[in-house]
Structure 1
Amino acid sequence: MSLSSKPPFRIYRAPWVVPVTSQVLFDGAIVVDNETIVAVGAYSDISRLHPDLSVTVCSGGLLPALVNCHIHLELSVYGVIYPPTQTSNMCDWIKVLLQAREQANFSLDEIRAAAKKMAQTQYDSGIGLMLDTGNIDIGTFDSCPSEIYSLYEMLGPSKAATQKAIETIEHFSAEQSVTAHAPYSTSPNLLKVIKKRCRNQEQLFSIHLAENLDEGLLLSKGEGCFARFLQDRTGSDSPFPIPGIDSSTVVEYLQRLGILDSKTICVHCIHLNDEEIKIIADAEAHVCLCPGSNKFLSVGTVRLQALLDHGILPALGTDSIASNPSVDLWQEMALLRKEHPAVSPGSILSMATIGGARAMGRANDYGSLEAGKTARFLNIQDQEYEDVESSEQLLERLTISGKPESVKWL
């Protein structure tokens, strides 16, 4: 049936259409009705079914909006925070970051202005949806068209800090989403309180996990750089080590606490063994990778193929500018592709799109070009795409070449 009687309907045509969840289309087209995709297919089929619709002809390719599943917008004001020496560990970097926060004394307006600028930069690069985590309430940015889901991140590495965090949470409105920072910085009691709240209110729960091997040493033996760091900050008022776990079963510890489920996003996940990956997969929890931050902090390389072999399609995140100077999801794809050349470029692109949408519970709207999803998608153009001869070649260049020369929203 022709849709010509409904003016809002229109067709976008391009040499390449990349739906993500289905085959790449050469000379493809997308039919939209205001904010919703109506159909995706070969232009020859679309034009035959809807001959009277107006057609916008685009060069390059059409792609769904990217999803940045882990960013800290509030840290944008501090710029890049470099480790003190080339041999510094992650705890040394955390100390420098905390010193910068404590000494800079930026006003809330300054923090908001930098965060707003970063959010706009993310949108300009093709990010339509992002998951932002922070320790203060920086509000919303109505001028930035990207959807931003904000989590208020709580830390409670000591008994006193745990009690203070719980009291703070009790004063939040039901609409305020709360999450925990990491197993090494959040007591087991606080983890359970926050997760119970998230579950009751059907909200996302994101946690930094297995970013550094010393995380397991802290929880199992009360040793390692995190133990020394917490001793300096909190003294003996610490719940660590946790009885009954060893350094290789941090994920099992979270599972015993009831943390892992389909609304849990485990961020970084570098140092996981096969059993831990299986636990995450069986719990239907999600994983978000931040390869740029991992490289900057020299904390290791994720076992990507092992995650994929267990049926986990990770999401991708940039982390903050404090640990990732580029803060660019296109660069995250390129780095991941270089680190894992055996993983297909289609899988890498899926991580930056449908992987993030699924992790955030927004796959009905974002992540792919399909009927019923949002009509906010990208027209990307680059000289790199001009001579591609196959969908495989296009996907390779999309995921290895970095940000395209032109990213336009349609």
Structure 2
Amino acid sequence: MPVSSAVIPDGAVVVDHSSIVAVGSFEEIFSQFPDVPVTECSGVLLPALVNAHIHLDLSVFGPVPQESSESTMCDWISSLLAKRLSSNCSDDEIRDAAEKAARDQYASGVGLMLDISNRYLGTFDSCPAEIVSLLEMLGPSQAAQRDAITTISELPSERMVTGHAPYSTTPDLLSYIKKRCTAQNAVFSLHLAENRDESLLLIHGTGCFAQFLKDRGAVSDTFPIPGIDTSGVVGYLQKRGILDRKTLCVHCVHMSSEEMKILAESQAHVCLCPCSNRFLSVGTAPLEKFLDFGMLPALGTDSVTSNPQLDMWEEMALLRKNHPTVAAETILSMATLGGAVAMHRDNRYGSIEKGRTSDILHVHGEQYEKAAYPQQLIELLTSGGRPERMDWLTFSE
């Protein structure tokens, strides 16, 4: 199942060390490479899944449930902060939990992750997946902005940094971080439009985020932000020079058509996290509209604090349930190629084709063998949750 092209029944892949050399039908491939050893696989060959949004450093805290059906996202953030402050977890405990979560992702078929963390975790030798790590910075007030810029200026030049969200980061700090990302040719990831109260804060200085920041003495000198018009928060980000092909906007639940059009025209990317959105009761992202604007969103799990399952297969299954008119092929593409493109790693990930990584996912089981045609097979993969039988075909030296 190449993803970038049609399903190949009785297909074959030729690999040379770490890369794919050729893809096609077995008959065609065997005629070209008759002397190459053959590994027979019963089932489906897939490219690695790509988790384009995860917070590995939060893994140590476990799920943080909403207190009641009346709770707001700000209440959940307060609960998470309280749990972090009271946990007394050591750096080693935080890192060990993050490494375990990364291993679990790889075991579930994820070969590439974009990790957003508040601390540098280093590399995990026990996890073969590639992890791109961004250090997340917040600064909702002028004083916090100065502290954040000082912290960033003292980091090694190669350390990649990103912003948290428009409601938690001053305009100048967002611009500062974006300019640094541009100089590094790095991805700039930003939580955006996850909750309706974000726009209330930025436009009117009201809503739960306004009260949340006021309680911490951080709102008076930043929000509301003057000059935000009908283009909303997305238009504000565009005017600040934040949006371009290296920008990844995460969640994007509450957006107008005008805002989606701006994102599409700026060539920014979108990452949806449906299971986290369900857990926090913030709504459902308008997937069909993004597709209408020619955008292929990526998929992410967010952290275990807002998504206890932390499973890309469940993200696909929930999308199939929430958006039954969206083709199963599109949802599979979101979990693979969409994430790879958003991370600008589609030269190695996202599809099975020449030049891509030779780390290929092998999914097998009776339910897949009984599929009568490719469409039925893709439906099973995207709607059935995590496969019972799955392993990696790795050929790199």
**TM-score band w.r.t. shorter chain:** over 0.9
Say which SS state the counterpart of residue 242 (structure 2) adopts.
coil
Following superposition, the deviation at residue 238 of structure 1 comes to 3.3
Counterpart Cα distance in 2 of 1:112 and 1:236: 33
Structure 2 residue aligned with 1:273: 256
Say which SS state the counterpart of residue 118 (structure 1) adopts.
helix
Return the TM-score normalized by structure 1.
0.95
Q: Provide the aligned length of Structure 1 versus Structure 2.
A: 393
Structure 2 residue aligned with 1:28: 11
Structure 2 residue aligned with 1:228: 211
1:57 equivalent to 2:40? Answer yes
Higher mean Cα deviation, 233-242 or 341-350?
A: 233-242
- CA deviation map 1:271-293 (0-9, x unaligned): 11111111111111000000000
Following superposition, the deviation at residue 407 of structure 1 comes to 1.6
Q: CA contact under 8 A between 1:217 and 1:247: conserved in structure 2? A: no
Q: CA contact under 8 A between 1:108 and 1:138: conserved in structure 2? A: no
Task: Kindly provide the amino acid, as one letter, of the partner of residue 304 in structure 1.
Answer: L
Residue of structure 1 aligned with 2:111, choices 128, 152, 174: 128
Following superposition, the deviation at residue 245 of structure 1 comes to 1.1
Residue of structure 2 aligned with 1:197, choices 149, 155, 180: 180
Structure 1 residue aligned with 2:223: 240
Counterpart Cα distance in 1 of 2:32 and 2:70: 63
1:118-267 correspondence runs (5 A) = 118-235=101-218, 237-246=220-229, 249-267=232-250
Q: CA contact under 8 A between 2:53 and 2:114: conserved in structure 1? A: yes
Counterpart Cα distance in 2 of 1:275 and 1:403: 36
Structure 2 residue aligned with 1:336: 319
Say which SS state the counterpart of residue 101 (structure 1) adopts.
helix
Structure 2 residue aligned with 1:399: 382
Counterpart Cα distance in 2 of 1:326 and 1:295: 12
Residue of structure 2 aligned with 1:284, choices 267, 277, 280: 267
Counterpart Cα distance in 2 of 1:321 and 1:248: 33
Structure 1 residue aligned with 2:306: 323
- CA deviation map 1:290-345 (0-9, x unaligned): 00000000000011010001010000000000000100000000000110000000
1:363 equivalent to 2:346? Answer yes
Structure 1 runs (4+) deviating above 4 angstroms are none
Say which SS state the counterpart of residue 57 (structure 1) adopts.
coil
Return the TM-score normalized by structure 2.
0.98
Q: Which is bigger in relative contact order (C-alpha 8 A, separation at least 6)?
A: 2
Counterpart Cα distance in 2 of 1:160 and 1:132: 27
Counterpart Cα distance in 2 of 1:23 and 1:192: 41
**Structure 1: where are the runs of 5+ without partners?**
1-17
- Alpha-carbon RMSD across the aligned residues, in angstroms, is 1.0
Structure 2 residue aligned with 1:409: 392
Counterpart Cα distance in 1 of 2:284 and 2:369: 33
1:95 equivalent to 2:88? Answer no
**Structure 2: where are the runs of 5+ without partners?**
none
Q: Quote the sequence identity (%).
A: 59
Following superposition, the deviation at residue 115 of structure 1 comes to 0.3
